[in-house]
Amino acid sequence: MFGWNGKFLRVNLTKQKAVAKEYDAEMARKFLGGRGFAVKILWDELKPGVDPLSPENRLIFAAGPLTGFALPSSGKLVVAAKSPLTGGYGDGNIGTYAAVQMRRAGYDAIVIEGRAESPTILLVEDSITEFLDAKELWGLNAFEVEERLRSVYGPAAGILEIGQAGENLVKFANIVSQKGRGGGRPGMGAVMGSKNLKALVIVGSGELPAAYPKDLKELGAEAYREVLTKPNYAFWKRQGTMMTIEWSQENSVLPTYNFSEGTFEDADAIGGFSMEKIKSSQRGCPNCNMTCGNAVKDADRKESELDYENVAMLGSNIGVGNLKKVAALNRMADEFGLDTISLGNVIGFAMEASEKGLIKEKIPWGDYKTVRDLIEDIAYRRGLGEVLAEGVRFTAEKLGGNARNWAMHVKGLEISAYDCHAAPAMALAYATSPIGAHHKDAWVISWEVKTGRERYSEEKVDKVIEFQRIRGGFFECATVCRLPWIEVGFELEWYPRFLHAATGMEISWDELNV
């Protein structure tokens, strides 16, 4: 088999055992990788009614057959489990060197079950797996953990860790890598914490098995050049997803004051052009020339990596109109290992509940200091934070009355940063995403604004299905980033060519797009 390694690493933390298990070419072709592998494993192995925070749940890190090759944006890793936030399937993806290192270590996925007796680091070095004591790391934030581990294992190691939110089983805790890259919105960090797993370190030295290595190398070089020629690339390079703040403001879809409005009076102050003025560095995922990670020095003089979602949810949605302050809130969330989308939702909900007198705590819109305190309380489950740590659906149910009317979620997962009051296709995309209200599976809001927002039509339903197949299907299974396609127009026809050179299989786009 080419492209794929043909092996999963199966880890049992309770028994402190790890074993490599082979899978066949039929499974590889049928499920491709990433989300496909994760769904297959969870479907086959989890019994109905399993508690997501129990040892029986599986925590899966899975890549695809293109991951790690020198191809545009091929450094993604899917992390999946049964979600403690929604009770259903949950996943997310992270741009991380852990994806590349896992593949070089000889594995296409690492599947973890059980629960360690004490805080543990899982170290995977090629075919050797060790269970190391993490007591000294327990209680540290994600950035501190990464610094300590990187000082031992070096700059090229793949490192995934949780912060205090994961330790304290906050239902929207995520998994962090590379000081600002997070994934697993539906509580994958809480699942990791429930297993007493503080960090996963991966170091691989093997070569990836390509069917036609010379062709793949030439194709990759050609593809990188192609990305650079796209008309939108130069502006994307300047602002990345931060350009979407101004676009959302212009089109009245910028979540503001807990999604009660679609425009924000201080949008310019937190937008892409304001970011450019204070940008301190620019980062990218492995094998990526899109480099959409724009970092600024925040209000605490620390570096914080910004994108549209975290700025909208911790800015306009809660009334904070100072970009350096938004950046500081984002840095706090990343250090604690909190998903910024869900965090901005629950804080916005708490502010509206406070305004309406449903809770005794006073949480004014835009109150930066109060928000900082609340983020810490959520991470440590203190006071009101104990309730908010369960997510907006649970909080609304606990408050009762009509509180659920302004709890912005689908299936328990808080809504991403696009107001869809007058965008029925985007609302349908949220409603039908397999993990809950997340834009990554069918981001149709841009297309919908161009074609007419308020009308309902079969065309809109068809477009949602098309995007779900491409974004939530192909890209999540191949574990390559969708941004070159959706943002700068890198053609989908490249991907069957990549797969042929990597795997030797002739897989048409029609076969991939199902």
Would you state the pLDDT for residue 247? Answer: 96
Please enumerate in sequence order all residues whose Cβ is within 8 A of that of 301, keeping only pairs 6 or more positions apart, or say none: none
CATH topology of domain 7-203: Aldehyde Ferredoxin Oxidoreductase;  A, domain 1 (3.60.9)
Residue 256: phi and psi, rounded to 5, are -140, 130
Q: How would you label 166-188 residue by residue, b for 16+ Cβ within 10 Å and e otherwise?
A: bbbbbbbbbbbbbbbbbbbbbbb
Cα Dmax for the chain: 66
| Cα(512)–Cα(220) distance, integer angstroms | 20
Would you state the pLDDT for residue 511? Answer: 84
Would you state the pLDDT for residue 200? Answer: 99
Would you state the pLDDT for residue 260? Answer: 97
| Cα(503)–Cα(514) distance, integer angstroms | 19
| Cα(323)–Cα(126) distance, integer angstroms | 43
Would you state the pLDDT for residue 514? Answer: 65
Tens of pLDDT, residues 451-491: 888 778 899 999 999 989 998 999 999 999 999 998 999 99
Please enumerate in sequence order all residues whose Cβ is within 8 A of that of 379, keeping only pairs 6 or more positions apart, or say none: 163, 164, 165, 168, 170, 336, 337, 338, 385, 389
Would you state the pLDDT for residue 155? Answer: 95
Q: Which residues of the chain have pLDDT under 50?
A: none
Tens of pLDDT, residues 243-267: 999 999 999 999 999 999 999 999 9
Would you state the pLDDT for residue 174? Answer: 98
Consecutive H or E run containing 309: helix 308-314
Rounded to a whole number, what is the distance in angstroms from the first to the last CA of the chain? Answer: 23
> Tokens in use for 468?
């779900």
Which numeric CATH code is attached to 237-418? 1.10.569.10
| Domain parsing of the chain, residue ranges | 7-203, 237-418
Would you state the pLDDT for residue 414? Answer: 98
Tens of pLDDT, residues 87-119: 999 999 999 999 999 999 999 999 999 999 999
Would you state the pLDDT for residue 356? Answer: 96
Would you state the pLDDT for residue 441? Answer: 85
Give the CA distances from residue 398 to residues 55, 174, 359, 372, 407, in Å, rounded to whole numbers and listed in that order: 27, 24, 11, 23, 12
Would you state the pLDDT for residue 451? Answer: 87
> Tokens in use for 354?
């406070």
> Tokens in use for 406?
């302004």
Which residue do the tokens 């302004």 mark? 406
Would you state the pLDDT for residue 122? Answer: 99
